[in-house]
């Protein structure tokens, strides 16, 4: 009898300990994946989520394969309350996207094409016109001219903050796209050494209160910052620039998203899904976290940001942009692990801020 009592007591004690331990561990967040069979279908899946199947009055049409013309489109899409739908260089590639427009756009709605005929073909434009839609094309002689047309169409208030990003690579611009879209900030593209004349003209007339440079001095040299300070002497200039795309992104994350309720994950080496998802992220005041799907581990800078969220008590909903080829399940498992269990404390990286020139120490 005594043995039975002791055994029952031991079992009860173990059960209480297990229950207590389980209660002390924070459950890892679940996740949503917005994806299709390809980048076209993924952009459609994201649009369906963004607008919950409702009819839309505006659509932004961008190239699925050429990033430069589309980089500045996020803020325009947010302003127009429009999804970003991707098309290819042939009607066959674009068929699913055009069918989505046909079934989800109001009669006589407006389609804004970003990019010239080389990236979004005339046949697509003709199809839209024949279907009775209003079509506006913002396409210049090069990526900077197209960007200037997009920025002009935003009609921002004088003094509005602006973002300066490289026109020759996409990660830095995509990292800041959701915050720029949610705030209505134009993204102005630049070469590495010198501001395009269109950017200088805009900065001269706008006289922004804040200028955010995204990218280290390897992609946007110190001369860019010097030009900006000379053109807008009263602006506060802040550079987000790390050793790689992930460190640069982490500086943006710590600055603008210290406690997000949602996060979006995307492939950091392909622009399409992150671009399509930028307005959905902006709608939810959420960041896009770029990762390397082939690395087998999270980028250290992104991992540390997730750990910081855990340590501060944040429990964001995890959303995934794209299918398992571009973003394998192991990525989500690692993200949920860091959010759910955390790790050692980390120190947020610093960006450089200046009302006069303050040059970053490292690239």
Portion of the chain with pLDDT greater than 90, in percent: 84
- 89 pLDDT higher than 60: yes
Q: CA 124, CA 143: separation in Å to the nearest integer?
A: 20
Note whether 208 and 159 are within 8 A (CB). yes
Beta strands in 119-179 (DSSP E): 134-138, 162-166
Average pLDDT over residues 82-88: 98
Instruction: Identify the three-state secondary structure at position 102.
Output: helix
Q: Residue 279 domain-assigned?
A: yes
Express each pLDDT in 105-132 by its tens digit. Answer: 999 999 999 999 999 999 999 999 999 9
Q: Please, which residues bridge with residue 56 across strands?
A: 105
Tell me what the pLDDT averaged over the chain comes to. Answer: 90
pLDDT-derived band at 53 (thresholds 50, 70, 90) equals confident
**How many domains does the chain fold into?**
1
pLDDT for the residue 349: 59
pLDDT-derived band at 54 (thresholds 50, 70, 90) equals very high
Note whether 41 and 323 are within 8 A (CB). no
Burial class (CB in 10 A: 0-12, 13-18, 19+), 296: exposed
Q: Residue 20 domain-assigned?
A: no
Q: CA 320, CA 329: separation in Å to the nearest integer?
A: 10
- 343 pLDDT higher than 70: no
pLDDT for the residue 59: 99
Express each pLDDT in 207-261 by its tens digit. Answer: 999 999 999 999 999 999 999 999 999 999 999 999 999 999 999 999 999 999 9
pLDDT for the residue 265: 99
User: What is the C-alpha end-to-end distance of the chain, expressed in Å?
Assistant: 74
Find the domain containing 241 and state its range: 28-354
> How far from 297 is each of 62, 239, 278, 302, 341, CA to CA, in Å?
31, 27, 24, 10, 16
> How far from 301 is each of 112, 219, 284, CA to CA, in Å?
36, 19, 23
pLDDT-derived band at 150 (thresholds 50, 70, 90) equals very high
Q: What backbone phi and psi angles, to 5 degrees, belong to 33?
A: -120, 125
Q: Comparing C-alpha atoms, which of 325, 262, 329, 259 is closest to residue 289?
A: 262
pLDDT for the residue 353: 52
Q: CA 254, CA 161: separation in Å to the nearest integer?
A: 18
E strand or H helix at 15: helix 2-24
Average pLDDT over residues 347-361: 43
Express each pLDDT in 14-45 by its tens digit. Answer: 444 444 434 334 444 479 999 999 999 999 99
CB count within 10 Å of CB 340 equals 15
Express each pLDDT in 294-335 by its tens digit. Answer: 999 999 999 999 999 999 999 999 999 999 999 999 999 999
Q: Residue 22 domain-assigned?
A: no
Q: CA 46, CA 34: separation in Å to the nearest integer?
A: 6
Q: Comparing C-alpha atoms, which of 200, 223, 217 is closest to residue 352?
A: 217
Q: Residue 11 domain-assigned?
A: no
Q: CA 344, CA 338: separation in Å to the nearest integer?
A: 10
Beta strands in the chain (DSSP E): 31-34, 56-63, 84-87, 105-114, 134-138, 162-166, 187-190, 210-214, 236-240, 262-267, 288-291, 317-321, 352-354
Q: Residue 204 domain-assigned?
A: yes
Q: Comparing C-alpha atoms, which of 171, 215, 157, 224 is closest to residue 195?
A: 224
Q: CA 146, CA 279: separation in Å to the nearest integer?
A: 20
Q: Residue 21 domain-assigned?
A: no
Residue 343's contacts (CB-CB under 8 Å, 6 or more residues apart) are 303, 307, 310
pLDDT for the residue 351: 60
> How far from 104 is each of 108, 109, 327, CA to CA, in Å?
12, 10, 28
Q: Residue 1 domain-assigned?
A: no
Q: Which residue has the higher pLDDT, 15 or 90?
A: 90
pLDDT for the residue 357: 30
Q: Residue 269 domain-assigned?
A: yes
**Of 162-166, 172-176, 186-190, 344-348, where does mean pLDDT reach its minimum?**
344-348
**Of 127-131, 207-211, 338-342, 347-351, where does mean pLDDT reach its minimum?**
347-351
pLDDT for the residue 69: 86
Average pLDDT over residues 54-74: 95
Average pLDDT over residues 334-357: 64
């Amino acid at each position: 009898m005594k043995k039975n009592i002791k055994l029952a007591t031991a079992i009860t004690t173990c059960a209480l300990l297990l229950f207590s331990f389980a209660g002390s561990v924070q459950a890892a967040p679940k996740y949503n994946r917005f994806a299709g069979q390809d980048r076209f279908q993924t952009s459609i899946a994201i649009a369906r989520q963004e607008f919950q199947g409702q009819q839309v009055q505006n659509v932004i049409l961008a190239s699925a394969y050429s990033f430069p013309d589309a980089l500045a489109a996020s803020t325009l899409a947010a302003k127009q309350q429009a999804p970003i739908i991707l098309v290819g260089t042939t009607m066959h590639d674009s068929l699913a996207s055009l069918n989505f427009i046909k079934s989800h756009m109001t009669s006589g709605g407006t389609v804004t094409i970003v990019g010239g005929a080389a990236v979004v073909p005339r046949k697509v434009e003709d199809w839209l016109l024949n279907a009775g839609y209003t079509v506006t094309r913002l396409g210049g002689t090069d990526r900077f001219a197209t960007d200037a047309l997009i920025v002009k169409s935003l009609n921002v208030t004088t003094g509005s903050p602006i973002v300066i990003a490289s026109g020759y690579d996409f990660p830095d611009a995509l990292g800041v796209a959701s915050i720029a879209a949610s705030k209505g900030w134009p993204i102005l593209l630049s070469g590495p050494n010198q501001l395009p004349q269109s950017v200088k003209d805009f900065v001269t007339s706008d006289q922004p209160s804040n200028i955010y440079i995204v990218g280290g001095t390897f992609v946007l040299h110190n001369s860019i910052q010097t030009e900006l300070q000379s053109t807008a002497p009263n602006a506060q200039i802040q550079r987000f620039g790390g050793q790689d795309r992930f460190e640069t992104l982490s500086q943006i994350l710590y600055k603008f998203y210290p406690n997000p309720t949602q996060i979006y994950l995307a492939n950091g080496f392909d622009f399409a899904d992150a671009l399509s998802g930028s307005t959905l992220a902006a709608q939810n005041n959420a960041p896009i976290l770029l990762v390397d799907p082939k690395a087998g581990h999270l980028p250290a800078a992104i991992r540390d940001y997730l750990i910081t969220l855990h340590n501060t008590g944040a429990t964001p909903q995890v959303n995934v942009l794209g299918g398992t080829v571009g973003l394998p399940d192991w990525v989500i498992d690692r993200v949920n692990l860091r959010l759910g269990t955390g790790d050692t404390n980390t120190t947020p990286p610093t960006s450089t801020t200046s009302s006069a020139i303050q040059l970053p120490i490292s690239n």
